[in-house]
Structure 1
């Protein structure tokens, strides 16, 4: 399994999103971009953050092809890849559903 440290970070920060009330349930998603390999690691879809394991994290290219992993990637993978394709300095994306941000979006 490649990218072990990056996978562990996605799992760790997913738990922190819940603990810090930045999202609930399985909402939101996280990714890390590895520009040298042109791949992103992204949280899996529909798995509780406290049940997610490093091997559940999906490795994809920026065209949406799964390169490693047997879980379904977050349905927001295209959003993440847009940031990486158009902003080369971006190395990670956190998409959360914080209460106040959600309230502002609804207004």
Structure 2
């Protein structure tokens, strides 16, 4: 399901490149709905892709809340990448990043 969603991300990115779409809009929206799950996507300016899988039965989450969660994740990810002691490509071992992701997951559940 996530692999299929990544194909949709690539299609949307290539469509953005062809059309004059606002490049500041990084949220890709709903990528792949199934009976059990909804998959949302987000891509950074540096082409890092975030994919979020949410239970379809969770009707409390609206599109703007998903967008907000991706922005928080992106900001936290940027903080990790800006750490001079972090080597790109290494596993992220940041307590602040882990806490932020955990708090987002608790909100969704």
Confirm or deny a common fold (TM above 0.5): no
Bigger relative contact order, structure 1 or 2 (CA pairs below 8 A, ≥6 apart): 1
In terms of fraction of residues, the more helix-rich structure is 2
Instruction: Tell me which structure has the larger Cα radius of gyration.
Output: 2
- Per the normalisation by structure 2, the TM-score is 0.41
TM-score (norm 1): 0.41
